[in-house]
Amino acid sequence: MKIGIIGLQGAVSEHLEATKRAMQKLGIESEVVWVDSPEQLERVDGIIIPGGESTTIGKLMLRTGLFERVKQLAAGGTPILGTCAGLIVLAKRGDEQVMRTEQPLLGLMDISVIRNAFGRQRESFEVDLEIPALGERFYSAVFIRAPAVEEVWGDAQILAKFQGKIVAVQQGKLLAVAFHPELTPDTRLHEYFLQMCQR
Ligand code: GLN
């Protein structure tokens, strides 16, 4: 299996490491590549868009040609995981901040997002989430200037909420979380995504 991490800005190396750890746990023979050009997405079985600054990630994806390539691959059924800023980039609709900055959105998921939904005064925090799709054990999630999903429609399914806000969504082969699964030792979210890539 080959997984490509969009490596233009943000928490890229942490995702590389977390993906490798999850692959080891699942015993999957595989390769993880740092992607900064469309050619590197050749024959990938899954794509991860990391956290960082969604405005920057979107603009750099446009400039490098990754924007169009990722859209094509998604249309062909390639699974994508977007975390934090990556969740924003996957969304079809954004809040007033998204509109104002005219940041590019891939528009792949039937979700609308609010940037910095937990307030700036509360920059980062860690909480125990209930994510039934990952099993009964609580999932400790790190939020950093995190977005939230305001609304889902179509085939998008809510996987988790925190303080009444939607923080994890799946739509077929697309998975988006508002937190940073690459920053904690628990590899269950990466494992869940890799299993989506295996089918
Ligand atoms: N606040 C960032 C944004 O709106 C996301 C933060 C993150 O990815 N940790 O793009």
Catalytic-role residue among 180, 190, 191, 197 = 180
pLDDT digit string, tens, across residues 59-87: 999 999 999 999 999 999 999 999 999 99
Q: What mean pLDDT is reported for the chain?
A: 96
* Cα distances (Å, whole numbers) of residue 54 to 58, 60, 88, 114: 6, 10, 6, 12
Rounded to the nearest angstrom, the distance between the alpha carbon of 85 and the centre of ligand 1 is 4
> CATH number for the domain including 147?
3.40.50.880
Confidence of residue 119 (pLDDT cuts 50, 70, 90): confident
Rounded to the nearest angstrom, the distance between the alpha carbon of 96 and the centre of ligand 1 is 15
Structural domain of 54? 2-198
Phi-psi bin for 83: left (phi > 0), alpha (psi -120 to 50), beta? Answer: beta
Count of the separate structural domains present in the chain: 1
What tokens does 48 get? 């991860």
Model pTM greater than 0.85? Answer: yes
